Amino acid sequence: MIVAIDGPSGAGKSTVAKAVAKKIGFSCLDTGAMYRSIAYLACKEGISLDDEAALTKLAQSVDISFGHVEGDPIPRSVFINGEDVTTAIRTAQIDKAVSPVSATPGVREALLECQRRIGHAGDYVVEGRDIGTVVFPDAEVKVFLTASDEERAHRRVRQNADRGIGSIDYEEVLADIRRRDTVDSSRACAPLKQAEDAIHMDTTALYIEEVIEQICALARGEA
């Protein structure tokens, strides 16, 4: 079974996806981390972010994997070609580089295959931008999470401060969130948009626990 959670940056997808997966005993797949890993490697290898052919070749040839602590189905780390990039993919540099990388059709095609292979291997909560529309259009549960731009920027600043990585300047983070929303929603290939059969939840004024409970109820067929 697939629970698809889509929405813009900072809407609470990661927190919600992990908590839901834990409660209903599913694994969890963060597809944004996969795009971030490709962006990280492209920057490291000096690949130009407008070189579609080189980015595509990179995405087709890399090995992305997730590290688990024994007994916990929620991944704790991300590896690309064996290198632990868990924190390296969360910097402001990667926040910027990931937009052109994720707008590259060849990159999306390569990761799509990989995401489907992982998701079909078990019960997964999958979070991203195009999970309910493109990657798993037949997902049993589809949720589209949103929140106001300002609330999302506040959350991202708090998260970056807790992690000790990324910008903690509210105005900079707000501008970056708006920039990424525009790029993610206007790209030609698999843009960020709500699937017709997805349930929309605005998390601006909702307690995260309420959102988690509602999605768990949907997954259990109780709602």
Residue placing its CB nearer to ligand DC in the complex, 73 or 191:
191
Distance CA 31, CA 191 (A): 14
146 is an interface residue for ligand DC by CB under 6 A: no
Task: Assign 3-state DSSP to the chain and report helix, strand, coil percentages, each to 5.
Answer: 50, 15, 35
Count the neighbouring beta carbons within 10 Å of the beta carbon of residue 50.
Answer: 9
| x/- letters, 89..108, toward ligand DC (CB under 6 A) | ---------xx--x------
Distance CA 143, CA 141 (A): 7
What is the nearest approach in angstroms of ligand DC to the Cβ of residue 157? 14
133 is an interface residue for ligand DC by CB under 6 A: no
> Does an H or E element contain 56, and which?
helix 52-61
Residue pair 83/33 in contact by the 8 Å Cβ criterion: no
**In the structure encoding, which two tokens stand for residue 6, read together?**
């889509």
160 is an interface residue for ligand DC by CB under 6 A: no
9 is an interface residue for ligand DC by CB under 6 A: yes
184 is an interface residue for ligand DC by CB under 6 A: yes
180 is an interface residue for ligand DC by CB under 6 A: yes
What is the nearest approach in angstroms of ligand DC to the Cβ of residue 165? 13
35 is an interface residue for ligand DC by CB under 6 A: yes
Q: How many residues bind ligand DC (CB under 6 A)?
A: 13
CB proximity list for 26: less than 8 A, separation 6 or greater: 1, 3, 20, 73, 122, 123, 124, 125, 219
> Does an H or E element contain 50, and which?
none
18 is an interface residue for ligand DC by CB under 6 A: no
Residue 71: strand, helix, or coil? coil
176 is an interface residue for ligand DC by CB under 6 A: no
Residue placing its CB nearer to ligand DC in the complex, 155 or 180:
180
Applying CB under 6 A, which residues contact ligand DC?
9, 31-32, 35-36, 98-99, 102, 128-130, 180, 184
